[in-house]
Structure 1
């Protein structure tokens, strides 16, 4: 017979079931009488569980066990819908959810997702998935969504607890030498020479170059002002957005060795109006990666390079700038990285330090070009040569 005798408890109730196991019940802060999610082997185990539940209520840490019954798929869709995201970021998140997260968790509620499920999913991504970088992005997104679920008091704790799983460990990208940079600029179609040089010596991203307007270029001051970026979505549409952070809105001083090439480009290839685009395609349309990639592949082969992506030009420029003795704050300002606080510190300094960096890059470029035999695969081998009209 079940043993239900005993002194009345101050919090909750314990009783023995016909099976011999013990059941615990308690009244939650919402006034609803709730059983423990499982039975216990001994009365003492049931009482301990009640003591923990009472402590959670006293500390204000109690979570409604019914709250976690929300479908993860529905909650993730709502999370995405409620976020003010840039188009490219929204597109990325939608892809990560559809391809890498929902296949594992769409049939589960928030409360059902446990640490072991996340560990198994993450291992599958690493073993048979899209690669470490995408796995890190997917893990960060899942963790962020579930962090919001914790804040919404739908779950008590976030099951994403794998140390270092959200850190992207990208393979080391190549850094071009100064002669290689100028060989590549000489090898590419003349319309894109200034594009290559600015990507390196102004540490500019593709989207920033595609959005660059004529009024943002001051050749007398040797400055380029970055205030927008172009994102190309999967449907082919081009979206102009502000840089990701305030630090991304910046003015960069360029070395004098690229001024002539940029001056020639503005004269021959850029749109004419002050608000016109600096870089456009052969038919006057905005730049598109797919169209440019053909030019890029030919230029890479002609310059005798391999395994080089366009983003490696910015990486090369950042490396060159660091070799001039620039401080961390100098580099953050030039690259457009850092918090708002770091950006403000940079903005309150004079432009003299950035000009020193550009001048030091001038010296470094000229010295390295002097030390090698002249190689001219595309009609130019120096900043001055590249500024001249192609024959």
Structure 2
């Protein structure tokens, strides 16, 4: 177990005089037999540390205090390399958040020097600097996840980024396009991209799903779009055939036959005959880059259609509204949109579904044998 060694040493004070002082060194071995030593100026502090070390070693909670001395930027670099659980796009966003917000503030500090008070102050600084609540929350979540890994690795005893008050993030109400607005946008698009608007508004595909769509995914006989993979753009490079966002994102989406006929015309005019041919490509070939497409094609067409505020994701919102208007129930909407749960669909789009509360009252009256006493 631990023991205390009393030592007498010579030190120079501020005036340059040499004085004799006493120090107390707590010595002990960890579970692997490695010897450790910690020095204290007072005997009482050494006794308390000795008792603490013995308790931690006996209970299996001891942590080498030197492991927390690694700087956050060095730890974060190693930590991100081990995040094999993240999708490529999610990992890229995490790296950006760490580089832009987290590391400039805490990167040079040892892990053990990051305090809860410092994290709270950092949140205030970001809000004062007019960072959005969403960006602020993402920054804290990134730091929290990084430090949680340090706790699991025995470098910290607790996570200082937990229990930090965060600004609320209010979700914007979805923007829906009417059928006539969708038609105006289709008309304003270059001919080779009109079908892209259709699969967004009437198929509900996310951008990556649409950009990665292949001929084999179009089932004209059954009037279905089969979503099995997605295009991913990271650091200026696009890869095809990636796993969709979630398990439920793999789906078969029914589309109107009128839409399917237009999609089949697009296949005939712009897509190669092989099953793996990409349905939507750049004008000179190759995959669609989102930012380039938005700048060169989408924004000019949207402005011409009188819809300067819409994005490609607006089409996905519109798809949900169209399904609801067609009488589809919430389970069908959730499944065909590829939402991760029916609960999400209700939370995000619940206002689109009819409120049957009055009908429920009548059904309860009938069940209980009551009468309608309203005048």
Q: Following the alignment from structure 1 to structure 2, what is the Cα–Cα distance between the partners of residues 197 and 138?
A: 36
Contact 2:2/2:29 (<8 A) preserved: no
Q: Following the alignment from structure 1 to structure 2, what is the Cα–Cα distance between the partners of residues 50 and 256?
A: 78
Q: Following the alignment from structure 2 to structure 1, what is the Cα–Cα distance between the partners of residues 156 and 199?
A: 49
Q: What SS does the corresponding residue of 1:66 show, helix, strand or coil? A: helix
The answer to whether residue 91 in structure 2 is matched with residue 111 in structure 1 is no
Deviation, 1:101, is: 1.0
Deviation, 1:208, is: 0.9
Q: Residues 90-129 of structure 1: matches in 2 within 5 Å?
A: 90-128=91-129
Q: Which segment drifts farther, 320-329 or 103-112?
A: 320-329
Q: Which segment drifts farther, 22-31 or 271-280?
A: 22-31
Deviation, 1:195, is: 0.7
The answer to whether residue 317 in structure 2 is matched with residue 315 in structure 1 is yes
Label 1:37 to 1:305 Cα distance change in 2 as closer, same or farther (>3 A).
Answer: farther
Aligned equivalent of 1:231? 232
Aligned equivalent of 1:151? 152
Label 1:57 to 1:327 Cα distance change in 2 as closer, same or farther (>3 A).
Answer: farther
Q: Greater relative contact order: 1 or 2 (C-alpha under 8 angstroms, separation 6 or more)?
A: 1
Deviation, 1:253, is: 1.3
Q: Which segment drifts farther, 214-223 or 116-125?
A: 116-125
Aligned equivalent of 2:340? 338
Aligned equivalent of 1:83? 83
The answer to whether residue 62 in structure 2 is matched with residue 62 in structure 1 is yes
Contact 2:4/2:46 (<8 A) preserved: no
Contact 1:137/1:168 (<8 A) preserved: no
Q: What SS does the corresponding residue of 2:273 show, helix, strand or coil? A: coil
Q: Following the alignment from structure 1 to structure 2, what is the Cα–Cα distance between the partners of residues 332 and 36?
A: 62
User: 1:203-247 CA deviation, whole Å, 9 max, x = no partner?
Assistant: 11111111101111012211111122222233x321222213322
Q: 1 or 2, which has the higher strand percentage?
A: 2
Aligned equivalent of 1:72? 72
Aligned equivalent of 2:354? none
Runs (5+) with no aligned partner, structure 1: 1-9, 16-21, 343-391
Q: What SS does the corresponding residue of 2:252 show, helix, strand or coil? A: strand
Label 1:320 to 1:174 Cα distance change in 2 as closer, same or farther (>3 A).
Answer: same
Q: Following the alignment from structure 2 to structure 1, what is the Cα–Cα distance between the partners of residues 137 and 96?
A: 14
Aligned equivalent of 2:302? 300
Aligned equivalent of 2:161? 160
Aligned equivalent of 2:222? 221
Q: Structure 1-normalised TM-score? A: 0.71
Deviation, 1:329, is: 4.2
The answer to whether residue 257 in structure 2 is matched with residue 244 in structure 1 is no
Q: Which segment drifts farther, 320-329 or 152-161?
A: 320-329
User: 1:40-98 CA deviation, whole Å, 9 max, x = no partner?
Assistant: 9xx7x998887766655554333222221122111110111223244433332222222
Q: Following the alignment from structure 1 to structure 2, what is the Cα–Cα distance between the partners of residues 37 and 195?
A: 70
Q: Following the alignment from structure 2 to structure 1, what is the Cα–Cα distance between the partners of residues 247 and 171?
A: 25
Aligned equivalent of 1:174? 175
Contact 1:279/1:286 (<8 A) preserved: yes
Deviation, 1:303, is: 1.8
Q: Residues 237-386 of structure 1: matches in 2 within 5 Å?
A: 237-240=237-240, 241-293=242-294, 294-322=296-324, 326=328, 328-338=330-340
Deviation, 1:130, is: 4.1
Query: Over the residues paired in the alignment, what is the CA RMSD in angstroms?
Result: 3.7
Q: Following the alignment from structure 1 to structure 2, what is the Cα–Cα distance between the partners of residues 247 and 272?
A: 29
Runs (5+) with no aligned partner, structure 2: 7-22, 343-375
Contact 2:323/2:333 (<8 A) preserved: yes
User: 1:321-344 CA deviation, whole Å, 9 max, x = no partner?
Assistant: 3455655543442222328xx9xx
Q: Following the alignment from structure 1 to structure 2, what is the Cα–Cα distance between the partners of residues 50 and 265?
A: 77
Label 1:38 to 1:75 Cα distance change in 2 as closer, same or farther (>3 A).
Answer: farther
Aligned equivalent of 1:384? none
